[in-house]
Amino acid sequence: MNPTATLLISCPDQKGLVAKIANFIYANGGNIIHADQHTDFAAGLFLTRIEWQLDEFNLPREFIAPAFSAIAQPLQAHWQLHFSDTIPRIAIWVSKQDHCLFDLIWRQKAKEFTAEIPVIISNHPDLKEVAEQFGIDFHYIPITKENKSTQEVKQLELLQEYKINLVVLAKYMQIVSTEFITQFPKIINIHHSFLPAFVGASPYHQAYERGVKIIGATAHYVTSELDAGPIIEQDVARVSHRDDVADLIRKGKDLERVVLARAVRLHLQNRVLVYGNRTVVFE
């Protein structure tokens, strides 16, 4: 695979946006391999993802951002530029459950997405062995009401030390503070319900009590409001009166694994654009 560049752009809608962006790439000899756009008419917003091959692109990498900046500024555009051969680094945060952790590690090894996983952080020591089995560093950082803010400083130091780009909360059963999120905002969480149903703790117990016929799982970016961040992906499974809470938890695990993995993959491929509390997913 030749390396590619990807632009994710959002700006107020106006005529000529597609032409201007496409011309910039064509004029420099780029071959577009993916282009998708979305217009939110209610918000008056144009959002696009455009990916092109770098091998015959005449502009050296370091000049792409400055050159595109000149185009973007008059459009009042927000934009990100990514190169496909920059390997993102993920920290997986867990508590005691191992299914999402195993799944993400397996998918990374199977090359379903491209990333390095140098570190696992946990508030419990239980999954240390799994980390060792796969040669990943493991940091046990227990959290109490009292030590939370000091422990979060340690966590932030670890993210810096390991040069982490993305935190994945793979069944990390702790709330991350607003202060933490402000300093490190790239966090994806898997919530074990079909949000906004069953916010907070014990969603499978809540689902059982309510007698629902379908359960779900939701992957979302973490914001300071609990379980209320922009949703990246959701999926559901049918249940019946025969399923007790243990069955819901078991069936839910299969959902959590695939929903979290899809969200992480979409994020790593720069296919998710957040605006307001919503996402555009360029599949």
Cβ atoms within 10 Å of 257's Cβ, excluding its own: 22
Structure token digits, residue 173: 């059963």
Does 197 engage in binding with a copy of itself (CB under 8 A)?
yes
Identified binder of a copy of itself from the candidate list 81, 136, 158, 212, rule CB under 8 A = 212
Closest CA to 104 of 261, 244, 245, 216: 261
Does 280 engage in binding with a copy of itself (CB under 8 A)?
yes
To the query of whether residue 227 is one of the catalytic residues in this protein, the response is: yes
Determine the interface stretch with a copy of itself among 1-9, 144-152, 172-180, 247-255 (rule: CB under 8 A): 247-255
Does 201 engage in binding with a copy of itself (CB under 8 A)?
no
Determine the interface stretch with a copy of itself among 73-81, 148-156, 175-183, 230-238 (rule: CB under 8 A): 230-238
Determine the interface stretch with a copy of itself among 71-79, 152-160, 180-188, 234-242 (rule: CB under 8 A): 234-242
Cross-strand bridge partners of residue 122: 94, 140
Determine the interface stretch with a copy of itself among 83-91, 165-173, 175-183, 189-197 (rule: CB under 8 A): 189-197
Does 66 engage in binding with a copy of itself (CB under 8 A)?
no
Of 227, 243, 244, 254, which one is the catalytic site residue?
227
Does 19 engage in binding with a copy of itself (CB under 8 A)?
yes
Does 17 engage in binding with a copy of itself (CB under 8 A)?
yes
Cβ atoms within 10 Å of 60's Cβ, excluding its own: 9
Identified binder of a copy of itself from the candidate list 30, 115, 166, 168, rule CB under 8 A = 30
Identified binder of a copy of itself from the candidate list 3, 34, 83, 161, rule CB under 8 A = 34
Nearer to a copy of itself, 144 or 240 (CB): 240
Chain positions 80 to 109 lying near a copy of itself, rule: CB under 8 A, are: 98-99, 102, 106
Looking at the annotation, which residues are catalytic? 227
Report the interface residues with a copy of itself, using CB under 8 A: 15-19, 22-23, 25-27, 29-42, 56, 98-99, 102, 106, 110, 112, 133, 194-198, 209-214, 216, 230-236, 238, 240-242, 244, 250, 253-254, 258, 277-281, 283
